[in-house]
Structure 1
């Protein structure tokens, strides 16, 4: 089923370079500490986006990966920045002052005419992948300067620079595997690794995040090297984990993974307790102003233990989409600590979190510490266990969604309506068969083009267990930052997506849905297209069906039961939609229903004004 997606956008290379130059200037004035180190890593990530984007532009023009003066200069820039990051890490974040003069000089000399394709690297944005970890892994690998380092673009190019800097190797080369996601291939000039092939003692390091579902990117580079006569015993892999390729891996990919040496360092090995390098506990303690802070991990759905008395009431979790989370305690004070992203994306989410709190929808924000957002822990009852009338819930949803529609315009792309429809048809086909998929395809083809579509940073996750009714009676939204920037297909959409999600998750009638649309429209001072809500509904159902069905591939027996129940629920709702679609226009009913819409709107508007 289709669940994952990758949202890229074209940006001016000059603008990307300009933002990197400004970041370098800002670092020069910062005192030593975790904030300066985080800013340095942010600069490294931004420069990596620029260099990989320029390399990809050359690849598109040439049809193959080959060396060029521009690529060599970019790789040298990244190795220089990687050394800065490595030194800052080794010194426990005690270094201050500007970056070396070579950094702004090389940045200025890069040819940045035209646009490049950029996007948030998944590991940095979602999976708590720290470039410092590759520095540590390389230091512990036993490799030395006699190593040809190869980065797999996009994120692998910057990570390869970290490896090269750690072992004193020459600047890395990079490649872009292409083709089907599960069967990647390389188009690379052998001269890319030039004289390395004539050095029998040389070793080769392949660097990337992953492996993912198939491990085909790693395998593509291994196969390319072996085709050039490099024995597998000389090939070393630097992945982000040692779990191996996923269920879509070919036999050749699994064999390559088995025979090649692998080196990795997780977060705990990178920032270990008892070393000169401050740990996450130290970062959080400094942020909340308490040296007595302790941390307990709540990742992978463990947060449910804090909100539910019995596992029988636990909601399902998709561990693949769970971020690293911790509960920080300092006396009677408790704080939620969640990974939200390194560099610009983390800072953006922290800013959004502060605005959500100021508007009354989110927890109090203590601060951002090198990718982790610290917010006050909310003691209370999750909405799925709270006794709150549907009318009050819908009134709160109206205020919340209207605020997002008015205040969070999208700066990043999301899936097109055509892509969402294709996903819905594909997932329906796999779950319900070709006949029902054809019905849905026909339904989409008969829908009018939506009007006034305005992309915003949607919530994307309005399930009842995502809200907490505090002890003071305030309804607080948790995890309100990530889902429009998650590693999935949807991305930023019109607020109508969240209205469709609310309709599904709270079983809203046509009257209640129409009332919700009207209140959002009035409070946000922008139109809400009921036809777009209607269009989104089967897309939302099919996406949720795919999400929970895919999650069934992992989890213990009790989790499997919860996941299967979620998948069945969305399957049943999608079937109901298909069975009733076409009988009524969206949210149009008889006269009594229209009176109900008017009454609901009046009640919600009155509640919203308080």
Structure 2
């Protein structure tokens, strides 16, 4: 299945460095507070993304070989200084904080004197953006490593996110530097290309512990495995290795047997989110209370689909628990508040700003604040889940049209995500893998639509019925509405036609209802909708959701029945919107068809 993809931004290097320096200056001028700590956290994540891009550019210039150069050493020293500043902020020691801030400023100034590429591609790490992975966890892991080892360790961070994570482990464990490597190749069989001089440095024959740091492991754990393979091949005994992963789970189902055996044997240091934020000191409660200016008591963890227990459903919707963001319900003197992980770094802050605009326009629950990567919404306890097939369907469709029209006008994006050609290839692959059907017609249609990709916007991307609330006063609100164009998938920003396609499929719109919705959107957005583009995107949307839910089905045994229902619905829509004729399909396959067909373009 083709679902996932890494989204990159192209960043002007020196202007970004100057902006980061300005943010350090602002940090120096703010008294200690939850807000100041949040700003510093976002700065660190943005700096890590830039450092990753620059080290990757150096690696590319060397023929995709990791090496040590003055530039990479300067970048690692910079990230180490910023990590020490994060550690000092957490320690609340004014003297150490001032010293760490000066060191961070000095290393930033030195970077500004170096000769960098004009622009560089940066990746916003998935763990920071989506999965609630916090620098605080790796500072704690570094402190644990220091307590367990006789001296400062050698620290290796696996890019992309492993670069800033390794800086944190190095800072807290007393290491004077760290190294970053990029595992490459097949996701299930990564390998390393490392300059021999750097290998000799890492594999020096002494008793120093070697910490390998990354956010995984995933399905194969091959990034950790390839790094440990390299070290063992150069004489490093397994007893010197320490893994610092992002979670305490085992390697996934695609792991090599040798890697799985080593994973079970080697020491692992894992400090999870709950330990840091939900432990005895009730840190998340204190952060939320500080942001609201009132006491906040944690009453429920609504992550991993548990939010379904806080609402009344006729039939609980399927969830992909492993991909859900952390969510917590708090009681406050002014009523219940939902804290949802919005992400760390500038893209997350931009998403929170969009959520505020949606709330101000009356389309989303009120935003009461944000702190340390969480956005705080008023939790509408008395709201009911709206039934789009019920008596309020016409009013709902008008509201949906106003909502999507507002998005189309208010949230333009500066780039397009997946191209039409990529979407056509995604449909071909997903239909072939799920249904055993060959469909090549979309690629030709994508070519004929080239240049008609419309106006990219920050789409909603998730218009499921379970995310619409009906308040007692009749207002209709959309939840979970701001960040799916930054998800860990290939879609990204698209023309608003992608959301119209989503609405068509999710709410089973007939042609008259779809036309009514489009008219409403065009009125609100003051822009015509490209109908041919829309007809192309409807089967693409269904194929993408089919692939996403198939991955969820394979990962979650307890949700499989509900997920199968979702998959069957998207298969039906594929049958209604792609043409089973000629040699496009294998013989013997038939689908229900309807008037919604791919257009014949001139």
SS state of the match for residue 2, structure 2? coil
> Within 5 Å, which residues of 2 pair with 1:319-468?
319-331=321-333, 333-378=335-380, 379-384=382-387, 387-411=390-414, 413-433=416-436, 436-438=437-439, 440-441=441-442, 444=445, 447-449=448-450, 451=452, 453-468=454-469
Shift of 1:527: 2.6
Shift of 1:148: 1.1
Name the Cα RMSD after superposition. Answer: 2.4
CA contact (8 A) 1:510 1:588 kept: no
> Within 5 Å, which residues of 2 pair with 1:114-193?
114-141=118-145, 142-143=148-149, 145-193=151-199
1:537 maps to 538
2:289 maps to 285
SS state of the match for residue 552, structure 1? helix
Q: Taking structure 1 as reference, are residues 473 and 96 closer, same or farther at Cα in structure 2, changes over 3 Å only?
A: farther
SS state of the match for residue 437, structure 1? coil
1:294 maps to 298
Q: What is the distance in 1 between the residues matched to 2:107 and 2:366?
A: 41
Query: Does 2:57 match 1:53?
Result: no
CA contact (8 A) 2:291 2:369 kept: yes
For normalisation by structure 2, the TM-score amounts to 0.91
Q: What is the distance in 1 between the residues matched to 2:56 and 2:497?
A: 35
SS state of the match for residue 570, structure 1? helix
Shift of 1:443: 6.5
Q: What is the distance in 2 between the residues matched to 1:330 and 1:413?
A: 41
Query: Does 2:83 match 1:82?
Result: yes
Query: Which deviations, in whole Å up to 9, do the C-alpha atoms of 1:225-259 show, x marking residues without a partner?
Result: 11111122211111100112222222233233223
Q: What is the distance in 2 between the residues matched to 1:177 and 1:469?
A: 48
Query: Which deviations, in whole Å up to 9, do the C-alpha atoms of 1:114-148 show, x marking residues without a partner?
Result: 21111211111101100110010121131354421
Shift of 1:35: 1.1
Worse-matched range after superposition: 9-18 or 73-82: 9-18
5+ unaligned residues in a row in structure 2: which ranges? 582-592
Query: Which deviations, in whole Å up to 9, do the C-alpha atoms of 1:63-114 show, x marking residues without a partner?
Result: 2111011111111111111111112212399987685333233223323332
1:606 maps to none
Q: Taking structure 1 as reference, are residues 477 and 72 closer, same or farther at Cα in structure 2, changes over 3 Å only?
A: same
> Within 5 Å, which residues of 2 pair with 1:309-320?
313-320=315-322
Shift of 1:538: 0.9
Shift of 1:290: 2.4
> Which of 232, 236, 240 does residue 230 from structure 1 map onto?
236
2:4 maps to 4
Shift of 1:327: 0.9
Q: What is the distance in 1 between the residues matched to 2:343 and 2:74?
A: 28
CA contact (8 A) 1:548 1:566 kept: yes
Q: Taking structure 1 as reference, are residues 420 and 108 closer, same or farther at Cα in structure 2, changes over 3 Å only?
A: same
Query: Does 2:15 match 1:15?
Result: yes
5+ unaligned residues in a row in structure 1: which ranges? 590-610
SS state of the match for residue 158, structure 1? helix
CA contact (8 A) 1:27 1:99 kept: no
Shift of 1:556: 4.4
Q: Taking structure 1 as reference, are residues 195 and 2 closer, same or farther at Cα in structure 2, changes over 3 Å only?
A: closer
SS state of the match for residue 101, structure 1? helix
CA contact (8 A) 1:38 1:343 kept: no
Aligned pair count reads: 582
Q: Taking structure 1 as reference, are residues 118 and 392 closer, same or farther at Cα in structure 2, changes over 3 Å only?
A: same
